[in-house]
Amino acid sequence: MSDILTDVKMPFCQGCGHGIIVKSLGNAIEQCGYSEKDIIIVSDIGCSGLVDPLFNTHSLHGLHGRAPALGVGVSLGLDNTSKKVIVIQGDGGVTIGLQHVLESARRNINMTLVVMNNLLYGMTGGQISGLSTQKFKEQRQFEVDVPPFDIIKLAHLSGAAFSARATSIKTFTDVLTDALRTDGFSIVELSSLCTSYAYKKLNDFQEVIEEAEILKNDRFPVTLSKKTGKSLFESLKSYSKEFTNNVNQRLGVIISGSAGGGVQSAATLLASAGIVCGLHSTMKGEYPVTVGTGFSIAEVIFSKTKINYTGLENPDIVILVSEDGLKVAKNRIKNNSQVIADISLMNNGLENLDKRSLVYGNFIQVASKKGAALCAIAYWLNSGGLLDLNALKSISNSHRLSAELLKTIDDSGKVTINNFN
């Protein structure tokens, strides 16, 4: 055998047809003249996904049913037409990701999809798949009145350049070779005996599989018009130290409020202010997909040394400006955390904290719900002295909403504080 296949022992059950398919595919790749570095294998979840260590090629392992979508991305991203993308799925993966297969065929993506069809989900107990044939299901007395997908006809009708079903192991290599030589999307469904959950004898298996078929569409593969644009890095701002800081050790800040309340923007401004104060800083945020409703929480870390880990299990400062924010951040408050909360959150359980570490301020009243987070940050900086408040103003001054942001920062001086010290 060529260098296409490794010498790793086949991981399949004894008698499984997947091993034959792997060897046939290796032979086909060799016959087409590809070297191991010319091939990109994209595998799926399931028994078919065990092929990764068997090919001495580039490889990518996908989620169940999503391998064709990954293959599309790889294919469209290649500039070298001498390379070949081969996606390997089982009938279960095709069932789960059927739309990905049809989209690949419709767009006639330049790649080959190899379907190892053993008529069932072999890794999870032998359940029926969407490609299980009618005869097979009748023997199982399961969904006898529900027709299976004919993936070869579906792919052909969707626009695949080459669609083939091979049922005899003697034809596997030849059909795969034709598929690999096809420009555009090719799909080959290969019958694969499962000795664990289907049949022990090949003759019994042959009685329930579909007949071999080859269908073609005379089409050119899809091509993308590519152009070179500006690098995303060109839009990144470069900061230099302009202000001072009094941070002596790693400092973690949580800002938590409601989605749409400016929490993420305020946290970004704070992290940037840390940079112009000469600190390393990181910022990461979380909010629901609804964006405009629910919680919004952000974490900012400052350090005099490089930050290699952005986890924040023990926040030094927790800023809370809404009920949504309190709910999502309450369990993250530690004994040593200083808590700065909007006055609207009084009598919501925070009173159980050490009074020396808790202050309430009328941030929403002063800066509205949209500006409360930035207002609370500005109050903290002005009262704590860890960062120069002018650093926050400087960063805000270059923002497209600079006037509004600067007003919010200045208005933080109007905040009335209930301090329990």
331-382 pLDDT tens trace: 999 988 999 999 999 988 787 776 668 999 999 999 999 999 999 999 999 9
Residues 52 and 199 in one domain: yes
Residue 227: the pLDDT is: 80
Q: Which of 216, 233, 265 is the last residue of a domain?
A: 216
Q: Is residue 338 part of a domain?
A: yes
Distance (Å, whole) CA 7 – CA 22: 12
Question: Could you tell me the pLDDT band of residue 291, with boundaries at 50, 70 and 90?
Answer: low
Report the distance separating Cα 28 and Cα 372, nearest Å.
Answer: 65
Tell me, yes or no, whether 315 lies in a domain.
yes
C-alpha to C-alpha distance for 323 and 276, rounded to whole angstroms: 32
> What is residue 17's predicted lDDT score, i.e. its pLDDT?
95
The reply to whether 284 and 144 lie within a common domain is no
Asked whether residue 205 falls in the same domain as residue 287, the answer is: no
pLDDT of residue 323: 95
pLDDT of residue 125 exceeding 50, the answer is yes
Identity of the amino acid at 407: K
User: Same domain, yes or no, for 246 and 200?
Assistant: no
Please, what is the Cα angle at 131 between 128 and 134, to 5 degrees? 75
Which of 199, 216, 233 finishes a domain? 216
Integer Cα distance of 118 and 136 in angstroms: 11
pLDDT, mean over the chain: 93
By percentage, how much of the chain surpasses pLDDT 90? Answer: 84
Q: Give the residue from 219, 297, 224 showing the smallest Cα distance to 257.
A: 297
Name the domain count of the chain: 2
Write down the H helix ranges in 32-147.
67-77, 91-96, 98-107, 134-140
Check whether residue 204 and residue 309 sit in a common domain.
no
pLDDT digits (tens, 9 = 90+) for 234-275: 877 788 899 999 999 999 999 999 999 999 999 999 999 999
In a domain, 12, yes or no: no
Question: What pLDDT sits at residue 225?
Answer: 79
64 lies in a domain?
yes
The alpha helices in 32-162, defined as continuous H runs, are 67-77, 91-96, 98-107, 134-140, 151-158
Could you tell me if 44 and 188 lie in one domain? yes
Name the phi and psi angles at 162, rounded to 5: -145, 125
Residues 312 and 409 in one domain: yes
Confirm whether 232 is domain-assigned: no
Q: What CATH number should be reported for the domain holding residue 319?
A: 3.40.920.10
Which residue range forms the structural domain that includes residue 310? 241-419
User: Is 223 a domain residue?
Assistant: no
In terms of Cβ atoms closer than 10 Å to its own Cβ (0-12, 13-18, 19+), residue 311 is: exposed
One domain for residues 158 and 99 = yes
Please indicate, yes or no, whether residues 135 and 258 belong to a single structural domain of this protein: no
pLDDT at residue 80, rounded to an integer: 84
pLDDT at 289: 76
CATH number at residue 209: 3.40.50.970
User: Phi and psi dihedrals of 201, rounded to 5?
Assistant: -115, 140
Q: Considering the entire predicted model, what is its pTM?
A: 0.65
| Residues 396, 312 within the same domain | yes
Instruction: Average the pLDDT over 172-197 and give the result.
Output: 97
Residue 107 forms part of a structural domain: yes
Tokens for 140, please give them. 């199982």
Q: Give the helix ranges, DSSP H, for 90-210.
A: 91-96, 98-107, 134-140, 151-158, 172-180, 202-206
* pLDDT-derived band at 420, boundaries 50, 70, 90: low
pLDDT in tens, 69-107: 999 999 999 978 899 999 999 999 999 999 999 999 999
**Which amino acid does the sequence have at 187?**
I
Residues 207 and 253 in one domain: no
26 and 155 part of one domain: yes
Over 90: is that where the pLDDT of 184 sits? yes
Q: What is the pLDDT of residue 2?
A: 63
Flag whether 264 is in a domain. yes
Q: Edge-to-edge strands of the sheet including 185-191?
A: 58-61, 39-43, 84-90, 111-117, 185-191, 162-166, 213-216
What pLDDT, on a 0 to 100 scale, did the predictor assign at position 1? 46
Distance of CA 226 to the CA centre of its chain: 25
